[in-house]
Amino acid sequence: MEQYWQQIWIAWEWGKAILATLMLTGLGMSAIIGAAYAFFKFFGEKWLSQKFAERLESYKAEQTRELERLRHKINGVFDRTKRLHDKEFEVLPDIWAKLVDARDWAGSYMAAFKQYADIGRMNDADLDEFLATTKFSEGQKREVKNASDKQNAYVNTLERYRHADAMDRLREANVSLSKHGIFVLPEVREDMKKMIDLIHSAIVEHQINDDHDVRPRMREEAAKLKTEGEPLFKKIERAVIDRLWESTMTEV
């Protein structure tokens, strides 16, 4: 700004000198005023044009810097968003698959009606052959063969394996969610965690019923899994489908 005022002052000094010269030549006042007006109009327009051009260049440079800063910021956000979505697309199907396995294995373990091999009718050779197809340890096989109630011993041992299998699947789902849940939308992650908790509570309730032969059997957690778990499971399924198929349905 100081530089601008200096230029105006210099122009004014020149203008005064020119006006004095014109007055000495004896020109009329109207001619002098006209000449002064023409001089200052010319100089003022030139000065304003110069300053406008300088300001315009400064504005363009500032806008260029701002656009570059915004472009860098947008590219960074886009890159992080893409990486996050890629990771979500990778882990979400795995978490979902493990959650489905956990629910299905728990359902099989807690089923009200189950079919068991009738080992009470088997002779020793048939029983040995049948037990060889199971996952029972050698000690468990001997316990079944030596039990006074072979059928009951077999069923109890088999149910312990079913409980272990159900808990293993549930644990896998929980571990997968714990490790990769940060890449899942918070609301979906919370619903999955709630589903795992519902399944776990129902499994524990069923195990207590079996181990302690509870009569009448406790069914509160099993009922809760049915009334709350089933609609929650469908909600999670819908959310997973939406997330995985969202990009293919987005209009470009």
What ranges do the domains of the chain cover?
2-72, 92-249
Residue 218 has what DSSP assignment?
P
What is the per-residue pLDDT across 62-89, written as a single tens digit (0 to 9) for each? 877 777 777 766 655 555 667 778 889 9
What angle in degrees, to the nearest 10, is found between the helix axes of 186-211 and 150-180? 160
Number of neighbouring beta carbons within 10 Å of residue 217: 13
Q: Which residues contact 154 (CB under 8 A, 6 or more apart)?
A: 116, 117, 119, 144
Predicted pLDDT of residue 233: 98
Instruction: Please give the Cα distance from 236 to 197 (Å, whole number).
Output: 14
Query: Which pTM was predicted?
Result: 0.70
Predicted pLDDT of residue 27: 47
Predicted pLDDT of residue 55: 76
Instruction: Please give the Cα distance from 165 to 173 (Å, whole number).
Output: 13
Instruction: Please give the Cα distance from 131 to 173 (Å, whole number).
Output: 31
Instruction: Please give the Cα distance from 208 to 163 (Å, whole number).
Output: 11
Instruction: Please give the Cα distance from 162 to 168 (Å, whole number).
Output: 10
Instruction: Please give the Cα distance from 37 to 53 (Å, whole number).
Output: 24
Tokens 């051009």, located at residue: 53
Q: If DSSP codes are grouped into helix, strand and coil, which group holds residue 213?
A: coil
**Spans of the chain, pLDDT less than 70:** 1-48, 51-52, 72-81, 247-252
Contact between residue 49 and residue 74 where contact means Cβ atoms under 8 Å apart = no
